[in-house]
A and B are shown apart, each in its own frame.
Chain A
Amino acid sequence: MSQEAAVAGKAPFTPDRSLFTRFNVIAGIIVIIGLVITILRFSGGLATVTNLDDNYPWGIWIGFDLMAGVALAAGGFVTSAAVYVFGMKRYHSAVRPAILTGFLGYALVVVALHYDVGRPWRLPYPFIMQQGTTSLLFEVAACVALYLTVLFVEFSSAPLEWLGLKKARNIVVRLTILLTIFGVVLSTLHQSSLGALFLIAPSKLHPLWYSGYLPVFFFISSIIAGLSMVIFESTLSHRYFAHKMDETHLREKEGVALGFGKAASLVLAGYFAIKVIGISVDNNWHLLGTCYGAWFLVELLGFVALPCFLYAVGVRDKNLTLIKWTSGLTVFGVALNRLNVCLIAFNWHLPSDEKYFPHWMEIGISVFVVTLGIIVFRFIVTRMPILYEHPDYKDGH
């Protein structure tokens, strides 16, 4: 976004301020296109707007919007666990933004799911009609549904404060630790189960990505994604919403970046180690010499090992810019890993003319969903006590 738009966005809301800021125009166009595609999708079926076929039943709506989305929304449970369970009060200012990101992330996952699934009005069926408990997807669905509720309740303290409903807000706040623990349990379950979904197809997933440890890989990388996403989101918020932030927030920002960066570096190192263990357990070293092997090395070395080092250097030198860019790299890397497992290394036997590439309308909906998220984020952050403490509740929590 350009400087002028940033400035324009920064200006306090006055009734005669023009609505046609650059961001609003672009976002508006995306939303309109998205709505058109939505109508096409629901009137004409999946074939009209996607390149999905019988060999690739899951496309980027699952690979990116669902899998990467869930991983990137993991900042919620990571931050709240750090602050409330592990007692690291110095990151307190990061909790509400992280919870908001998490809540919006999961909400958008559910929105995207409504596009992808054949009969979205039947999404409650696994809970109310027949429970397919042998299926990991059932477990994912149940945990995501419950976790969305948890996030909603955790987030609700902010709008309650905004609406001035003191009693309700106090009840919510008292539930914090319980919700946090519940949230960590649910997150562990569904983050790992998203990886476990592919355990059922060893003949279709490339052996470098397929492992009995897939659930562990997905869970650990979700922690990494969460930590990085908090840094990333904090960076963007500080750029565009700094006028909304209170002193605590501004003061703690550096500490959040350094602390979370340190943690991310450590977890990345551990993730790298278990990935290497995964290759050696199946004795797949010779596969690294193939084309897919080269791609795997790019993912492992360029998006796991490299950010590990960059984070470490950034934290040591207190180089916030480096940490900021590394968080972007890491977030991209985790999303890449999800896309690899779900699309690129999936059905790797097939010849290239049978492989899948998303339709532009699929990309359009993904962009549309993300844009919706940003719009809602902006709405909430500019009105509710996310980036600052509400003056009436300063002593709370």
Chain B
Amino acid sequence: MSISRRKFLGWLGAAGMGTAMGSSADAASNKHFTGYPGSMGVLHDINRCVGCRSCEAACNKVNELQSPDQVFTDLSVLDKKRRTTSDAYTVVNRYDPATGTGREKEEPVFRKIQCNHCLEPACASACFVRAFTKTKEGAVTYDASVCVGCRYCMIACPFNIPAYEYDEAFTPRVMKCTMCHPRIMKGQIPGCVESCPKEALTFGKRDDLIKIANERIQKYPDSYVDHIYGEHEMGGTNWLYISDVPFERAGMREDLGITPAPQLTSGALAGVPIVVGLWPVLLTGIYAMSKRKEKIAQEEEAQAVAQAVAGTEAEAEKKLSAALAKAAKDKETVVKKEVKKALEEAAKAKEES
């Protein structure tokens, strides 16, 4: 297959157009999502939490989850660190001071773990059927009616929150805190917030919560670390934390950075249209070049064969004509000889008579 110059240029042009029509990747853009205006959130004051587990009980009741083996008033479960499971949207953990640091007499720290309802959720970015939605109210909700169960959201979540109903054969779901979105829509507050006796959980607009957190830190600078966790972590979350101890001590990772999760993969996704645009051009070009090489090789071969054949033919011709000439000459010589012989014989015969 030979490709004309026109065709080749045409391909190039099409590829270029294709690339130009792709939407911008925003991988290195300055766009920064600061949340839907007026979106709600929860402020968790770790200083106030006493590990009573009322929030766990309320969450279990409000979401009609399965009752656990140990009742919520059993505080011995706090001896082990727990994480969210398919039966528990939220857990409270107790963090004892580390041994061997000379700080054993310090008080233990309690912290509530649940979905942080990120501004730019990793789970929503990772889901290939858009089962997660960042609602305007701030809650990140899950739609079980489209979920295929690939569990990529569990891989993606930097806080290790989503859990899966591995026990379910036909309707396994991803389970995580919903910020009681249905209740919020009815003007109520999340179950855990309502039940906390010490108001270690405050519900309100995210902007207001930041104000409240700053006010508390400013009022009692000796009692709070000057940082609101979740203000910027992973691009910002709607569940904020303030604490009297360093967040690491309360079991929270401080090395997550401020890049929102979707930005981590937007670069790779941006490469897709480029590959789609350029690869066909490249490969077609290589194909064309290899085909052309082949053709040229073929032609050269044919030429060489033809030359060789022609040469051989010419030589054969020469030989033939030489042989023919020789044969003719030989014939002539023989004829002459015969004639001469005949004449001689005739002459001899005449002489005799």
Q: Which residues of A contact B (CB under 8 A)?
A: 42-47, 50, 52-55, 57-58, 81, 84-87, 117-120, 122-123, 125-126, 129-132, 134-139, 141, 177, 180-182, 184-185, 188-189, 192-193, 196-204, 212, 215, 346
The answer to whether residues A126 and B172 also contact, given A87-B294, A118-B150 and a CB cut-off of 8 A, is no
7 A-B pairs with C-beta separation under 8 A:
A55-B83, A117-B149, A119-B172, A189-B276, A192-B271, A199-B265, A199-B268
Per a CB cutoff under 8 Å, which of B152, B256, B294 touches A197? B152
B243: interface (CB < 8 Å): no
Per a CB cutoff under 8 Å, which of A118, A122, A192, A203 touches B151? A118
Shortest A46–chain B CB gap in Å is 4
Chain A residues near B284: list those with CB within 8 A: 181
B166: interface (CB < 8 Å): yes
Give the distance in Å from the alpha carbon of A267 to the alpha carbon of B353 in the complex.
Answer: 108
Chain A residues near B163: list those with CB within 8 A: 54
Shortest A138–chain B CB gap in Å is 4
Chain A residues near B268: list those with CB within 8 A: 136, 192-193, 196, 199, 215
Docked-complex contact A201 and B269, CB < 8 angstroms: no
The answer to whether residues A135 and B279 also contact, given A46-B166, A54-B84, A54-B163 and a CB cut-off of 8 A, is no
Docked-complex contact B129 and A126, CB < 8 angstroms: yes
Docked-complex contact B290 and A118, CB < 8 angstroms: no
| Stretch of B43-51, B154-162, B305-313 that contacts chain A | B154-162
Give the distance in Å from the alpha carbon of A279 to the alpha carbon of B177 in the complex.
Answer: 38
Highest count of chain A CB atoms <10 Å: which of B147, B150, B151, B269: B150
Highest count of chain A CB atoms <10 Å: which of B165, B265, B279: B265
Shortest A113–chain B CB gap in Å is 9
Chain B residues near A198: list those with CB within 8 A: 155
Q: From DSSP, what is the main secondary structure of chain A's interface residues?
A: helix
Give the distance in Å from the alpha carbon of A136 to the alpha carbon of B264 in the complex.
Answer: 11
Per a CB cutoff under 8 Å, which of A87, A135, A136 touches B290? A87
Which residues of chain B (192-216) have a CB below 8 Å from chain A?
Answer: none
Give the distance in Å from the alpha carbon of A120 to the alpha carbon of B170 in the complex.
Answer: 10
Docked-complex contact B128 and A135, CB < 8 angstroms: yes
Docked-complex contact B276 and A185, CB < 8 angstroms: yes
Give 1 or 0 for each of B112-144: 1 = CB within 8 Å of chain A CB: 000000000010111111110000000000000
Chain A residues near B164: list those with CB within 8 A: 46, 52, 54, 57, 118
B28: interface (CB < 8 Å): no
Docked-complex contact B155 and A197, CB < 8 angstroms: yes
Give the distance in Å from the alpha carbon of A132 to the alpha carbon of B86 in the complex.
Answer: 24
How many chain B residues touch A (CB < 8 A): the figure is 62
Shortest A184–chain B CB gap in Å is 6
Shortest A220–chain B CB gap in Å is 14
Docked-complex contact B172 and A132, CB < 8 angstroms: no
Residue of A nearest to B127 (CB): A132
Docked-complex contact B127 and A135, CB < 8 angstroms: yes
B334: interface (CB < 8 Å): no
Chain B residues near A184: list those with CB within 8 A: 279, 283
Chain B residues near A197: list those with CB within 8 A: 152, 155
Docked-complex contact B166 and A200, CB < 8 angstroms: no
Docked-complex contact B148 and A134, CB < 8 angstroms: no
Per a CB cutoff under 8 Å, which of B125, B168, B255 touches A134? B125
Per a CB cutoff under 8 Å, which of B126, B149, B287 touches A118? B149
New contact pairs (12) apart from A135-B127, A200-B265, CB-CB < 8 Å: A45-B167, A45-B169, A46-B164, A46-B166, A54-B85, A117-B150, A118-B172, A122-B149, A137-B127, A182-B280, A199-B268, A215-B268
Docked-complex contact B126 and A200, CB < 8 angstroms: yes
Docked-complex contact B129 and A181, CB < 8 angstroms: no
Docked-complex contact A118 and B147, CB < 8 angstroms: yes
Shortest B11–chain A CB gap in Å is 11
Docked-complex contact A126 and B128, CB < 8 angstroms: yes
Docked-complex contact B130 and A131, CB < 8 angstroms: yes
Chain B residues near A42: list those with CB within 8 A: 169
Shortest B127–chain A CB gap in Å is 5
Docked-complex contact A43 and B169, CB < 8 angstroms: yes
Docked-complex contact A129 and B265, CB < 8 angstroms: no
Chain B residues near A185: list those with CB within 8 A: 275-276, 279-280, 283
Chain A residues near B167: list those with CB within 8 A: 45, 47
B293: interface (CB < 8 Å): yes
